[in-house]
Structure 1
Amino acid sequence: MLAFQSLGIVYGDIGTSPLYVFTGIFDIFGTPTDSRDVIGILSMIIWSLTIVPLVKYVFIVIKADDNGEGGTLALYSLLARHSGLAIHGETRKDDLNISNYDAVSIRSNKNNFIKRSKKVQGVLLFLVIYGASLVLGDGLLTPAISVLSAVEGLEIQVPMLLFIGQQYGTDKVSKCFAPIILLWLISIASIGIWNITGRPEVIKAYSPHYMFDYFTRSGLKGFEVLGGVLLALTGAEALYADLGHFNKRAIELSFIPLVYPPLVLVYMGQAARIIDDPTVVKNTFWKTIPQTGFIYWFIFVLAILATIIASQSLISATFTVIHQAMRLDCFPKVKIIHTSSHHRGQIYIPEINWILMVLVLAVVIAFKHSANLTTAFGVAVASVMLITTFLLTNVIHVVWKFHPAFSIAFLLIFGLIDGAFLSSTLRKIPDGGWFTLVFAVVVASVMGIWKWGTTLRVEYESKNKTKLGDLFMDDEYSGTTSSENSSMQIINGNSQNEATTSTAIASTTITIQPPQRIQLRLLESGLKVQRLPGIGLFYQDSGLGIPLTFSHFIQHLPAVPETLIFISIRPVAVPYVGEEDRLVVHRVGLYAGIYKVIARYGYMEPISQSHDFIRKLIKVIRTIDSEQESLKPEAHPEDQAITYVLSQQKILPGAGNWLRKAALQFFVFLMNNSRVPYSNWNIPSGDSIDVGMCIPL
């Protein structure tokens, strides 16, 4: 079923390439006068389809998935984790009991060449960000080209319908589109066979001899033809980028028997007709189909639908790229809607959908004709293919642990092919290719500045993180010494002592009899911290210790609620998390009424921090800490005051040159206009407090 559905999402672009490939090639080089040229170009198309989409992507590249996700950012994520590079917010080992992340995916490898060299890390990050930007540019150009090539008179209405349909999710959209693309593929395969019967000798184009013969005879002209042949490969990168919407097996089952054969057959059929009548190159596809009324108009309607659907693969890929970039701290926060409980990669991003629609309309109005966009399109396709080859070369050695010879062989073979395609398109930069490069530079700048600013902020928080022992002194009246090394944890509803290496709050378990509780006094002033009735929740990022918000708060106002909870919200890679797996609770050392909590949510679940959540949390805390007076059943804790303390950070650009200050100002602008994570957590507005603090960068 997934393989069938993938037809409507992944293959619309590459499946509709026969509409314009031969016409685009011979429109530049003129009507062919030698049948050997036609056979040679056909051989180039067949072998390009065989080597790039089939061998490179279906047989090799899609195997390098990041827990089911594909694309350049997924390759970077794999390389970073397997090189021991920190990725902010990555999955933790104690999620393995409920998530589908395998243990190897979060295990750091040895100190390889990526870990050792900051320059290598910088080059990889640049390539990944620029590659992702090119995919986004591809996602902008594909709908524009598809619409213009299909219905020149409906430039505005058609894309609006296409983008409006995205909100219903990949599953519903693919079920609607897949039958149309399947019917299209069957139709072009049938037309191809019908045309081949007139010139069966075109089958010999499967021999690479004719491709090399064409290069030998044509010289530089043959190299320039590669730019036209590249149009037959559009959508190959989307095949990998859309992997998260389906899976590897679905892509294999759909492309090998259902997509590759019809494409080869239709190109062979078109070549056969061109040999018979070279004038058909002026409008190859339409002049090579049966001209009988019903068949012609049936194909005409089907072609319009198929070319519109061709945009879907890159729209879905755009959502995937944005989502991956957010998880790697390379893009501002936007709203993610998961549209399937079975496949977490099927997502919809409202803001990006409508922004993309507006940009597509602007491009359609600006360029007016599809021919004006094809040059820009080719530069984007070839560039992303080459970047993917370079990144996978590193994955083969670093992640798959193959001998470097395999990496070198892969780079030489596919790098040479991708480089040849890119070189053939670079000469078209003045004719429209500049648009792709400029768009990618703008988007890459946004992503790069966000990544850089986020890294600076996280580094500041890490350097200034504290433990409670750094804030509070041992209480001389407690009869014991302060220890943050004592903790109690509950996972799956069972109370247990835990040994952990976390630097956040707790590290090792010790046995204490009796469990006397430490009262709080500020370390610097010795002032006793007042404990107020109620429950207070301080929200923090996972793994960053005591929130800076709390340190800032306690120094200015030495009073905290009687029950103090440091809480982290952690999304995990399953649709739903059962209530028995929801909470991980630590008692923080011997401090009275202080706890650390991790609340886990599946990707299909809305995050709720309402009073119902607090009641469940209190119930769990009671099971591990019956000594807390304020949480005993007779104390009616549900009726106590509940305070949600949220952080509002203000970035202050520090010293530096004007360029650094300008970049930080832009980062601040992005922060102020990105989505606040807790805006849809169902936190009662009357019970929340925003604690502002300045972070100098």
Structure 2
Amino acid sequence: MPNSDESSNNNDEHESGYSGIQGKPKLSRHDSLDLESSTVKGHHAGHSFKNPSWGVVLTLAFQSLGVIYGDIGTSPLYVYASTFTDGIKNDDDILGVLSLIYYTISLLPVIRYVFIVLRANDNGKGGTFALYSLLCRNAKVGLLPSQQVEDQQVSNYQLELPTKCNQLGLSLKVKKFLEKSVISKYLLLVVTMLSTSLVIGDGVLTPSISVLSAIGGLKGASPVFTEGRVVWISVGILILLFSAQRFGTDKVGYTFAPIVSTWFLFNAGIGVYNFITNDPTVIKAINPWYIVQYFQRNGKDAWISLGGVFLCVTDSEALFADVGHFSVKSIQLSMSVITYPTLMITYTGQASWLRLHQDQVSNTFYDAIPGPLYWPMFTIAVLATIVASQAMISGTFSIIQQSLALGCFPRVKVIHTSAKYEGQVYIPELNYILMLSCVAVTLGFRTTENIGHAYGIAVALAESITSVFMLLVMLVIWKKHVILVIIYVCCIFSVELLYLSSMLFKFPHGGYFPIAFASIFLALMVIWNYVYRKKYYYEMENKISPNTLKDITNQRGFSRIPGLAIFYSELVDGIPPIFGHYVENIPALHSVLVFASVKSLPISTVPLEERFLFRRVHPRELYMFRCVVRYGYTDARKEEEPFEKIIFERLKEFITNDFWAHAQIERSRSQGVEQVQGHENDYICHGDSDEDIVRANEEALEREIEVIDRAWQGGVVHMMGESEVMASKGASIGKKIVIDSAFNFMKRNLRQTDKVFDTPRKRLLKVGMTYEL
């Protein structure tokens, strides 16, 4: 929407819309920024992939095996060893732990994620940012400073809400509380950032514990492979894994799915073999009373052991985070038909084997493998752990891309490695940080038991945050009955908190690592977002009004030169103050000027035809335009054509629509009186024949288009506003540290704004200005 300054100072900027074929205008009342979004095909069409065919579902279900289940599928490598760290004290303790595994997997990944959380997807996208964006769109809790009314007209923006609900009163109360409480708004954003930081920590611990546990099988094969050698082999594999990231993970589903499928098949077969040949009576662990007895016998030790049991559901968050690459039905199918029963059989077979070999619990997985299958299983285990690590690393890159798009992460280079597969990205800076951190964790902790202490906290805390957001979604968006919410809290959220409490007990034994690691990234994100918003509000308060711009261009000695200039700015309403700094020092402008502003919406994706929104800056003879380029938080900011070419083509489309809309308005107002506006635009009205009107309007439009074409032929210049920020005089020491030291350090050492687009270096002009915040 136009800002108040602009609206009050410019009565000539009419709010109009256009819908129809050229030459046959149809008048409507919209903001001019909405001209394109209201005429595109499929406007408000919604998500187009809601009801895929069963053939597509089956294909996606197979592909999902190689992306989503690598981590949870390899957890049998270390769960029992991490649970019985002090050995098995009672034969029935095995039944108690097996029963815990049964109900933990059934409750948390299956019931919670597969059948509840997946329904909270954002137009097919998942993850913490998806839940946060849903809340931001349904309630005014977002802190993004560039929000506009036009954003709500994007086809994917609107939510499908129930029309009848007897819990509307409670929903409104919660919604009003969140909207009125400034603390709750900041808390939601910080918690979202914390979840992102924990996922980054998970991206460090998953490769370490997975690869180390798989390579640990060498110790049982030969005494030559000591603990030290196993650690260094694991380090070598990790380095190779991260070094290969720059090549991308194209066709990741079809490449990895056969490996994970083979892994599941072997595990299920070995599980059935051990179940039959050892102790089939472990099946009675399906009775939850064994859990009660386990806690009665072991008390505090049983509670502490929950940290090991929880590792059986590691990275369940991937079921939700990666739903955008597949579909809800495909994930429900692959989990229910393949992953869930396979895990149940695998853990049951290991428990059956442990009943007769209790002294070998530290290496349960490999010792339970029949001799002839040892080396084939070892090979598949190594490949499966690499798959699990790859999936987690790719997921980390994706979530950083989302936080970057919403102004919650310092600028880094995002490389899209696949033209076919959405979401395949590579971030060089983060890749090196993850690699060095993984190597340090592997060398420092050395065993899966020690890493497991750290691993559980990151996973449990991230999943607890998801449940908190789900409670808000159930109340504010779904408007569920309070009894259903209470049931969710008692049956699911309380179980998560119980596991989390057990994890926190291990804080001194390695649990501090993910918290410390996440705290560093959280601090970076909070600082960057704080200064980002302060800087935006400064530009809003000091933007240039149309009258001021008109006065500047009317000054003596001010000239227009041939060519098209694109002036980049983060400000989406009005003209940024840095432009005034430019014209004060260089009293010349190109014949056509476009102020391009890039913004991210709290939705997963913006259709290409709705991405570019234009507004004309009046008076019309200035040939100045504002263009808002809108992206979703998962959209790739790299178009198929050069950005300047797309701007040029969309600008001509806008001028055509805008011209006919204004011609229709003037014709309606005049009621037969001939009007002349400016030397470029002659609107012929009711006094003339229809043919004369259409012919004259077409000629006037051709003159406008000719001006744009001449500017394009004169060359395109890219102007980039690079503002330096510093704390204002009299600011507190803390504010000076945050702005002058921390933020500026990150800005100097990370990517610059011109890297967002493929801006030609030879035609790039940077304009600098200092803001005192």
Quick one: which of 589, 597, 600 aligns to 2:627? 597
Residue 90 of structure 2 corresponds to residue 26 of structure 1? no
Displacement after TM superposition at 1:582 (Å):
7.3
Displacement after TM superposition at 1:376 (Å):
0.8
Distance 1:332 1:607, change over 3 A: farther
For residue 326 of structure 2, what is the amino acid of its counterpart? Answer: F
Quick one: which of 259, 263, 266 aligns to 1:180? 259
Quick one: which of 580, 583, 591 aligns to 1:551? 580
For residue 329 of structure 1, what is the amino acid of its counterpart? Answer: G
- What SS does the corresponding residue of 2:115 show, helix, strand or coil? helix
Q: Is the 8 A contact 1:273 1:280 kept in 2?
A: no
Aligned pairs (5 A) from 1:116-127: 116-127=180-191
Could you tell which deviates more after superposition, 172-181 or 559-568? Answer: 559-568
Quick one: which of 178, 203, 226 aligns to 1:139? 203
Displacement after TM superposition at 1:14 (Å):
1.2
Residue 207 of structure 2 corresponds to residue 149 of structure 1? no
Aligned pairs (5 A) from 1:309-388: 309-340=387-418, 344-388=422-466
Distance 1:217 1:538, change over 3 A: same
Q: Is the 8 A contact 2:70 2:384 kept in 1?
A: yes
Residue 617 of structure 2 corresponds to residue 588 of structure 1? yes
Superimposed CA distance per residue, residues 200-255 of structure 1 (whole angstroms, 9 cap, x where no aligned partner) = 32222112122122223332222122112112121212332333333322321211
Superimposed CA distance per residue, residues 13-39 of structure 1 (whole angstroms, 9 cap, x where no aligned partner) = 1111112212222232x23433x2221
Distance 1:383 1:456, change over 3 A: same
Residue 127 of structure 2 corresponds to residue 71 of structure 1? yes
Aligned pairs (5 A) from 1:570-589: 577=608, 584-589=613-618
Quick one: which of 266, 272, 276 aligns to 1:193? 272
Quick one: which of 307, 321, 325 aligns to 1:241? 321
The 2-side partners of 1:143 and 1:597 are apart by 43
Displacement after TM superposition at 1:638 (Å):
4.0
For residue 184 of structure 2, what is the amino acid of its counterpart? Answer: V
Residue 514 of structure 2 corresponds to residue 458 of structure 1? no
Q: Is the 8 A contact 2:614 2:651 kept in 1?
A: no
Residue 567 of structure 2 corresponds to residue 538 of structure 1? yes
- What SS does the corresponding residue of 2:725 show, helix, strand or coil? strand
Alignment match, 2:30: none
Distance 1:208 1:91, change over 3 A: farther
Distance 1:631 1:19, change over 3 A: closer
The 2-side partners of 1:59 and 1:614 are apart by 43
For residue 627 of structure 2, what is the amino acid of its counterpart? Answer: V
- What SS does the corresponding residue of 1:587 show, helix, strand or coil? strand
Aligned pairs (5 A) from 1:110-509: 112-151=176-215, 152=230, 153-198=232-277, 199-291=279-371, 293=372, 295-340=373-418, 344-472=422-550
Displacement after TM superposition at 1:42 (Å):
0.8
User: What is the alpha-carbon root mean square deviation over aligned residues?
Assistant: 3.2
Superimposed CA distance per residue, residues 530-565 of structure 1 (whole angstroms, 9 cap, x where no aligned partner) = 434443332233623212222322344444333232
Superimposed CA distance per residue, residues 402-439 of structure 1 (whole angstroms, 9 cap, x where no aligned partner) = 23443333223322111111111222111111111111
The 2-side partners of 1:631 and 1:147 are apart by 61
Displacement after TM superposition at 1:611 (Å):
6.7
Residue 734 of structure 2 corresponds to residue 659 of structure 1? yes
Q: Is the 8 A contact 1:150 1:308 kept in 2?
A: no
The 2-side partners of 1:186 and 1:675 are apart by 45
Residue 766 of structure 2 corresponds to residue 679 of structure 1? no
Alignment match, 1:508: none
Distance 1:172 1:351, change over 3 A: farther
Q: Is the 8 A contact 2:156 2:605 kept in 1?
A: no
Superimposed CA distance per residue, residues 189-210 of structure 1 (whole angstroms, 9 cap, x where no aligned partner) = 1111122224332222112122
Displacement after TM superposition at 1:648 (Å):
0.9
For residue 298 of structure 2, what is the amino acid of its counterpart? Answer: S
Query: Equivalent pairs: percent with the same residue?
Result: 36
Alignment match, 2:22: none
The 2-side partners of 1:598 and 1:673 are apart by 28
Residue 112 of structure 2 corresponds to residue 56 of structure 1? yes
The 1-side partners of 2:704 and 2:100 are apart by 77
Displacement after TM superposition at 1:585 (Å):
4.1
The 2-side partners of 1:25 and 1:385 are apart by 20
List gaps (5 residues or longer) in structure 1: 474-518
Displacement after TM superposition at 1:179 (Å):
0.7
Displacement after TM superposition at 1:105 (Å):
8.5
For residue 636 of structure 2, what is the amino acid of its counterpart? Answer: Y
For residue 65 of structure 1, what is the amino acid of its counterpart? Answer: N
- What SS does the corresponding residue of 1:419 show, helix, strand or coil? helix
Could you tell which deviates more after superposition, 127-136 or 402-411? Answer: 402-411
Q: Is the 8 A contact 1:244 1:320 kept in 2?
A: no
Residue 70 of structure 2 corresponds to residue 12 of structure 1? yes
Superimposed CA distance per residue, residues 351-375 of structure 1 (whole angstroms, 9 cap, x where no aligned partner) = 3223312221222233333332111
List gaps (5 residues or longer) in structure 2: 1-58, 162-170, 216-229, 660-680, 682-699
Displacement after TM superposition at 1:65 (Å):
1.9
Q: Is the 8 A contact 1:588 1:596 kept in 2?
A: yes
The 2-side partners of 1:222 and 1:394 are apart by 32
Alignment match, 1:104: 159
Could you tell which deviates more after superposition, 152-161 or 205-214? Answer: 152-161
Alignment match, 2:724: 650
The TM-score with structure 2 as length reference comes to 0.76
The TM-score with structure 1 as length reference comes to 0.84
Structure having greater relative contact order (Cα 8 Å, sep ≥ 6)? 2
Superimposed CA distance per residue, residues 559-584 of structure 1 (whole angstroms, 9 cap, x where no aligned partner) = 43332322335689669847xx7754
Q: Is the 8 A contact 1:145 1:370 kept in 2?
A: yes
Distance 1:441 1:185, change over 3 A: same
Q: Is the 8 A contact 1:534 1:561 kept in 2?
A: yes
Superimposed CA distance per residue, residues 478-508 of structure 1 (whole angstroms, 9 cap, x where no aligned partner) = xxxxxxxxxxxxxxxxxxxxxxxxxxxxxxx
Displacement after TM superposition at 1:348 (Å):
2.8
- What SS does the corresponding residue of 1:334 show, helix, strand or coil? coil
The 1-side partners of 2:351 and 2:647 are apart by 70
